[in-house]
Amino acid sequence: MSEIDPVIAAKRYAHPEALVSTEWLAERLADDSIRILECDEDVLLYEVAHIPGAQKLDWHTDLNDSVVRDYVNREQFQELLRSRGIDESKTVVLYGDKNNWWAAYALWVFKLFGFESVRLLDGGRAKWEAEGRPMTTERPSFPRTSYDAPPRSDEKIRAFAPDALAQSKAAKPLVDVRSPQEFTGERTHMPDYPQEGTLRGGHIPGARSVPWARAANSDATFKSAADLRAIYEREQGLGASDKIITYCRIGERSAHTWFVLTYLLGYPNVRNYDGSWTEWGNTVRAPIEVGS
C-alpha cells in the first residue's frame, strides 16, 4: 500500500508514507490488506477498548526477550507476525497511548527486522478517542501466515554503549530525550515515575537535551516538518549530514525521536541507543556530566 495520506502530506515530511491520519484509517477499517496493532505503555488499555480490528502488542512480552536484556530473535518475531496474520503483503498500522511513545518503539523493532510496510497512526489512541471514533472490546483473529523473517540487523539503526562512548569522545551529536531533570541529574527517573534502578544521574558528556515530547502537538499528533526543523535544526544545529545517536532510559522515548529524525526530517544516519541511561548510569567508570 503505497499511496500517501493527503492529511499527512500537508505537513511536508521527508517520508510522509511513514504516517497515516485517523481519517485515513477510519476509511479503511474493513481493508484486509491492513493489520492494526495497539502498543501501549499501559498494557491494560487494549482490554478496556480499542480500534475495531486492532490486535494487542505487549511491549514487555511480545518485543523483548524474557531472560536476556535484548529484543526477540528472528524466530520469535516471525511467530509474532505469523500469529497476527501479518506478512509482507500487509500494511501494519501501529498506534498507542502517550503520543505513540511505545508504538514508535514497536516500529523501531519492526525495522530491526527489515519490515518495511509499517506506519504510525498520527495522534495515536488519544486523537482517535478525542474524535469520538469507534472503539470495541472484540478481539479479532486472522488466518496465520507463513511470514519468513530475515535475521535481525542491529547495525544501521541501533547503537550500543561503545558507540555512544565513541560518539561522545568525537564530539558528535548525542540527543538526550529525557526530561530536563533527568538530564541535569536532579532525578534518576521520569517525573511521577518510580526509581527503576539507575545508580547515577546526569547525562553522557556532550549530549544535547531535547525532551522527546517536544515533537508532539497537544492532540498527540506530530508537529509539522517546519516546526520540527525549528527545534532540531535551528535550535540544536542538527542536519541531515550528521551521524546522530538518541538515548533516554531504556530506548523507548528515544525511539520516538529516532522516528522523528529518520522519517519526518529524513536524516539517514540516526541510531537509537536502547541501553540508554539504565545501562550507562550503572556502568563502572562510564563518564557522566551533571547540570545543564
Locate cell 500469529: which residue?
A: 83
3-state secondary structure of 223: coil
Distance between CA atoms of residues 70 and 115, nearest Å: 18
DSSP state of 289: B
Q: What domains, with CATH codes, occur in the chain? A: 6-130 (3.40.250.10), 158-280 (3.40.250.10)
Locate cell 499511496: which residue?
A: 3
3-state secondary structure of 270: strand
Strand partners, 123: none
| CB contact at 8 A, 87 and 117 | no
pLDDT of residue 194: 64
Average pLDDT value for the chain: 95
Sheet with 158-159, strands from edge to edge, namely 158-159, 270-273, 244-247, 174-176, 208-209
Q: Does the pTM of the predicted model rise above 0.85?
A: yes
Please determine, for residue 197, whether its predicted confidence score (pLDDT) is greater than 80. Answer: no
Active site residues: 248
pLDDT, tens only, 117-162: 999 999 999 999 999 999 999 999 999 999 999 999 988 999 999 9
